[in-house]
Structure 1
Amino acid sequence: MQFKHPEILYFLFLLLIPIIIHLFHLRRFKKVPFTNVSFLKEITLQTRKSSQIKKWLTLLTRLLLLAAIIFAFSQPYISNNSSFDSKKETVFFLDNSYSMQAKGQSGPLLQLAVQDLIKYLDNDETISIITNSTSYKYVSISGVKNDLIQLGYASNQLDYKSVFLKASNFFSRDPNSLKNFIFISDFQDKNGTTLDIDNSDVRTHLVQLQPVNKNNVSVDSLFISGNSTSKLDLTVIIKNQGNSIEDLSVSLYEKDKLIAKSSVDIEHTAQVNFTVNNDDFSEGKIIINDTQLQFDNVLYFSINKPERINVLSINESDDRFLKKVFNISEFNYKGSDLNNLDYSDLLNQSLIVLNELNTVSNSLIDILKSFVQQDGFVLIIPSNEIDLKSYNQLFNQLNSIQFKPILEAEKKIIKINFSHPLFINVFNNEVSNFQYPKVNKSFPIIPNNASRILSYEDGNPFLVNKENIYVFSASLNLNNSNFQNSPLIVPTLYNIGKRSMQLSSPYFTIGLENKIDVNTSLNQDQVLVLENESAKIIPQQKSFSNKVSIITSETPELAGTYGIKNNEQLVGKLSYNYNRNESTLSYLKVQESENITVSNSVSKVLKEIKSNTKVDELWKWFVIFALLMLIVEMLILKFYK
């Protein structure tokens, strides 16, 4: 038994007062002459004994009465937790990612979790709730009930480490408070993620909700597999998890009009091909029918008119190898001798190549600096006879690398940085044994935090990249290197050109950072707007002289196709889809450990927490006992003779 106000128990010492009064209370008897008392002696003795018993019983009932009142005011209780007076803090994380659309016993997992929170939490209990998209600090369930009922699914799921970090910020620093963290999720296994829980001050309750059916089929991706003047070939990838499916219907819509339909048998992965007119097709969507997860049944895409990327090469050497790479429909290549260079045309380019210039003039350095500040890309190929001072002056202005004096030694180019963005999706496997290109002379590089893309056998870089600047450390003419004949030259130069202008793809993923360059110009105070029937968004953007760069990540929030509008004029379309990582219904095996419990029900956890902090208050029983003692005393005084 414990006491909420134990200091009141000091009043028990006051019980000594009636005891002392009773023990030292001496009554003086008055003598009355009587002729013969022999008959009264027996009666007097019996009366004195009865009176003493009555006084002791009265004293006992009064002591018990006062003691019961004192105990009642001290508020005694019995509890499973010794910290009855401690502050209680409860934080919930409610996973509202798209995998929580999966069906449980009586509905989607997210809805079941919300229903249990509303049903089993006390209306006046102070709690905090975190979701992937919002948070509520120090609220009551009655105050956020409507918000939870209307809570939508979020495309940007927090990783587990971020969840625990965010939850820790919702708890106070009071070491004596009772802290409970309830993590409600399906704990989807994504690329080997793990739960790292190290906060021993918080009692963590993991509530793993899992669907009754783990089968799911999704529209995984789409790409353009063929492109002619009149036709466009589309390939759709369908993925299945669970039992094989026969005759799965796959529909192609142009906007909201059904234009083609196909069926496919699928075990794990299947491809579906469609062909559309290349002239007038601008936006579409692929739809399948699946009752498990809904968000991955539709994939939106858009086809914008192809735009050529402007590439200018400033030459003091043969540029035929550049023409071979860039003289295709995707690029608008122009070569110019240094002496005939039109400086006014430089800022209209996306990529400028310095092809083996011997020296870089101050005027060219200044305009290249402005060009890079306008988000332009520069590729530098040195000659063997460069003016080292002018080149390093250029590098200083571009905040790039530095050249050391030329080194005359044959070197083989053997190392490829496969993780560099330049080579993503270029190689099927990491090739380590190929016909190594070589150079006869090269400039050692001081990297200054530049990324190495290609390297020599001694580890020194052959091609480096820092932001928008790409630099070869050696001349590429055939007298110095055979790199022009290497299979590496085409993907290397082609991807440098493609990266100089981030043209629109058929679709982008919500939650990932996407950069899109729009070939338009804005007047002062003008902005580009993304708009469709349900939303109008002003994305993050930066205006340059020949383009506008749009950057999106968390917006838009809804999947669909959006028009890019410049002052109400449509200049392009962008399509966004939810991340397909949520489509795989595989889950972590969460385990109990010290200070961590695991459950499959929100209601069970809430009941357990309540039972652990439940107290049986006893003050009412002491009040009843005091009243009972009062009644007993009254009966003794009235009826006991």
Structure 2
Amino acid sequence: MQFKYPELLFGLFLLLIPILIHLFQLRKFKRVEFTNVKFLKQVEQQTRKSSQLKKWLVLLTRMLLLACLVVAFAQPYFASKELFNLKKETVLYLDNSFSMQAKGKNGSLLNEAIQDIINTIEDTETINVFTNDEEFKTASFKAIKNDLINLSYSSQQYDYESVILKGKQLFSNDPSSLKQLIVVSDFQRQNENFNRSVDTSLALTLVKLEPTSASNISIDSVFISNRTNEILNLNVVLSNSGRTIDETPISLFSDNALVAKSTAVVEGEGQVIFTLPANQKINGKISIEDNSLQYDNSLYFNLRTNPKIKVLAINDADDTYLKSIYTTDEFEYNAVSLNTLRYNTISDYNLVINNMLESVPTSLTTALETFKTNGGSVLIITSENSELTSYNQLLTSLKLPNLIAKNNTNKQITTINYDHPIFENTFNKRVRNFQYPYAKSSYVLASTTNAILEFEDGTAFVTGANGNYLISGAINSVNSNFVDSPLIVPLLYNIGKQSLKVSKLYYTIDNENTIDIDVVLTQDEILTLTLNSNSIIPKQKSTPTKVQLMTDEHPKLAGIYDVNRKDSTLLHLS
């Protein structure tokens, strides 16, 4: 027999209680003289014997009931004898994410977990161990002990479902073996619960590590709130998960030189604003003093003058609204008519706008298709009398929905697709009731996929993805009031900004980031990212006008990287 909760068997010591009660329940009989006690003595002897027997029976009954109660709570069961002969497999997941830097009773939570594992598992035991970025397959524990001791923190972290899936991959295919997955973590993934019933084919053991203090101050984000020709305001947002800190020191460095220092009162969330010269290049680091988690005490960023985005409008209509949006502080805007267009200059631009042309020549379709292949963006604005055949040839080459027919019904534009990438981080809240713009006529599209703005009947007014966009109705004053709507500014501005992915203040490790570098490489040249003596070659795509860098799994370390072309540094990225 075995017990599910054997520690409850200590409750059998409670059997001493009825014994003690029995021993201390003593009665003293008082002697009373009586004339003739012969018959009474016989009755007294019989009564005493009967009473003593009852007391012993009551004592045994109490002890038996109490023992049964303790055994019932311990949950006894009979295990199959076959189980003792089964092969046992153990897989251990050790969370080495940055949150495991929190202080435990004996150092960081990660070091504390490693020491407990070393003290618990025998050197000869065969075990599979995996972390967020490493795995040690079917090895004796002695062989991997040093690897665990030298284990470093990782920016990656498995979600709980992935932990189960990864653990199952490390088990053998033997259906008769007992499989146990041990998860050692602080379980700090927000808004996610560990579902213990995900898989019943293995025994799951969760070991939660608790820090000695849950208080932590971190740098949440950095952004520019105001910028003029002379100065800019750099906002630093701090978050606090514990008690209010009266004064948290914050330092701003540029190239390791202290530029400014301030303090903040952080109650839940706090903010500090640094005022800096607008035209100064800064390879910066924000640093705070906090004794809890260390990885979120620093944030690297870069301030520089980004190249202007080049926009070409091929006009067959008034372009005043385009000039008001693509201003000279951020864009280099040029406008030509179809007759004066020089096709060999199209590749010099980042965004080309077909501004209400009535027909699209085949030569322009070919040029725009090549332009798009080389990484450019195209915006097509239909006219009131668009020639469908030529337009559809262009739309097909750009993988945009074709124009089916013209619809002369006056319709309101009532729906904004807030989840479309073109509106990312644009609106503070989702408004459903606003002053709806209208279009007296528009074109029915073959598909409403990737719609950005929709009419009241659910058809698309603006659609697009992957750098190609289509407005399905003329937006001149005769046909629509869309140019007077507040929607036109964020729409066209974001289309322009996304045509060249200029470098941000900073990027997040392990996220998919795309950065356009304004440089033209020869056939065998590549760009590298260098931090101190560490150099990596990121994924990159070279076009006739730029190089597009893509980062996801690499780099792994936070810092300010040099973007190098051979021995020369083009710019810095954080």
Q: Normalised by the shorter chain, which TM-score bucket?
A: 0.7 to 0.9
TM alignment of 1:142-181, pairs within 5 A: 142-181=142-181
Distance in 2 between residues matched to 1:198 and 1:243, nearest whole Å: 36
- Counterpart of 2:248, as a letter, is L
Distance in 2 between residues matched to 1:251 and 1:429, nearest whole Å: 33
Distance in 2 between residues matched to 1:329 and 1:466, nearest whole Å: 26
Q: Please give the secondary structure, in 2, of the residue aligned with 1:405.
A: strand
Deviation string 1:478-506 (CA, Å, 9 cap, x unpaired) is 11110000000000000010111110011
Offset, 1:109: 0.8
Q: Please give the secondary structure, in 1, of the residue aligned with 2:214.
A: coil
Within the alignment, does 1:482 sit opposite 2:500 as a pair? Answer: no
Q: Which residue number corresponds to residue 373 of structure 2?
A: 373
TM alignment of 1:82-93, pairs within 5 A: 82-93=82-93
Higher relative contact order (CA 8 A, sep 6+): 1
Structure 2: unaligned runs, 5 residues or longer: 2-77
Offset, 1:86: 2.0
Distance in 2 between residues matched to 1:80 and 1:220, nearest whole Å: 55
Q: Which residue number corresponds to residue 402 of structure 1?
A: 402
Greater Cα radius of gyration, structure 1 or 2 = 1
- Counterpart of 2:431, as a letter, is V
Deviation string 1:404-442 (CA, Å, 9 cap, x unpaired) is 110110000000011112112222211011100000001
Distance in 1 between residues matched to 2:430 and 2:537, nearest whole Å: 41
Deviation string 1:208-258 (CA, Å, 9 cap, x unpaired) is 111110000011111122333343321111111111101211111112111
Give the superposed CA RMSD: 1.6
On the 8 A contact 1:304/1:504 being kept in 2, the answer is no
Going from structure 1 to structure 2, the CA distance change for 1:193 and 1:483 (only over 3 Å counts) comes to farther
Q: Which residue number corresponds to residue 547 of structure 1?
A: 546
Within the alignment, does 1:248 sit opposite 2:248 as a pair? Answer: yes
- Counterpart of 2:466, as a letter, is E
On the 8 A contact 2:128/2:137 being kept in 1, the answer is yes
TM alignment of 1:191-340, pairs within 5 A: 191-195=191-195, 197-340=197-340
Within the alignment, does 1:538 sit opposite 2:537 as a pair? Answer: yes
TM alignment of 1:67-106, pairs within 5 A: 82-106=82-106
Distance in 2 between residues matched to 1:399 and 1:419, nearest whole Å: 21
Q: Which residue number corresponds to residue 422 of structure 2?
A: 422
Distance in 1 between residues matched to 2:101 and 2:461, nearest whole Å: 50
- Counterpart of 1:565, as a letter, is N
Distance in 2 between residues matched to 1:189 and 1:159, nearest whole Å: 7
Percent of aligned positions that are identical = 42
Q: Please give the secondary structure, in 1, of the residue aligned with 2:461.
A: strand
Distance in 2 between residues matched to 1:360 and 1:162, nearest whole Å: 51
Q: Which residue number corresponds to residue 500 of structure 2?
A: 501
Offset, 1:272: 0.8
On the 8 A contact 1:400/1:450 being kept in 2, the answer is no
Distance in 2 between residues matched to 1:453 and 1:336, nearest whole Å: 27
Q: Which residue number corresponds to residue 349 of structure 1?
A: 349
Deviation string 1:28-79 (CA, Å, 9 cap, x unpaired) is xxxxxxxxxxxxxxxxxxxxxxxxxxxxxxxxxxxxxxxxxxxxxxxxxx99
Offset, 1:141: 1.6
Going from structure 1 to structure 2, the CA distance change for 1:450 and 1:346 (only over 3 Å counts) comes to farther
Distance in 2 between residues matched to 1:536 and 1:240, nearest whole Å: 35
Distance in 1 between residues matched to 2:371 and 2:196, nearest whole Å: 47
Going from structure 1 to structure 2, the CA distance change for 1:119 and 1:353 (only over 3 Å counts) comes to same
On the 8 A contact 2:280/2:304 being kept in 1, the answer is no
On the 8 A contact 1:304/1:573 being kept in 2, the answer is no
- Counterpart of 1:361, as a letter, is P
Distance in 1 between residues matched to 2:533 and 2:153, nearest whole Å: 17
Deviation string 1:373-397 (CA, Å, 9 cap, x unpaired) is 1111100100011110111111222
Offset, 1:173: 2.1
On the 8 A contact 1:521/1:548 being kept in 2, the answer is yes
Q: Please give the secondary structure, in 2, of the residue aligned with 1:393.
A: helix
Q: Which residue number corresponds to residue 528 of structure 1?
A: 527
Greater alpha carbon shift after TM alignment, 355-364 vs 218-227: 218-227
Q: Which residue number corresponds to residue 472 of structure 1?
A: 471
Q: Which residue number corresponds to residue 115 of structure 1?
A: 115
On the 8 A contact 2:520/2:545 being kept in 1, the answer is yes
Distance in 2 between residues matched to 1:375 and 1:193, nearest whole Å: 42
Distance in 1 between residues matched to 2:445 and 2:523, nearest whole Å: 42
Greater alpha carbon shift after TM alignment, 146-155 vs 409-418: 146-155
Distance in 2 between residues matched to 1:92 and 1:545, nearest whole Å: 50
On the 8 A contact 1:95/1:132 being kept in 2, the answer is yes
Distance in 2 between residues matched to 1:80 and 1:275, nearest whole Å: 73
- Counterpart of 1:506, as a letter, is L
- Counterpart of 2:146, as a letter, is N
Deviation string 1:107-139 (CA, Å, 9 cap, x unpaired) is 111111111222211112111111111111111
On the 8 A contact 2:400/2:469 being kept in 1, the answer is no
- Counterpart of 2:377, as a letter, is F
- Counterpart of 2:524, as a letter, is D
Aligned structure 1 segments of 4 or more residues deviating by more than 6 angstroms: 78-81
Distance in 2 between residues matched to 1:81 and 1:99, nearest whole Å: 43
Greater alpha carbon shift after TM alignment, 508-517 vs 258-267: 258-267
Distance in 1 between residues matched to 2:172 and 2:145, nearest whole Å: 24
Q: Which residue number corresponds to residue 518 of structure 1?
A: 517
On the 8 A contact 2:413/2:453 being kept in 1, the answer is yes
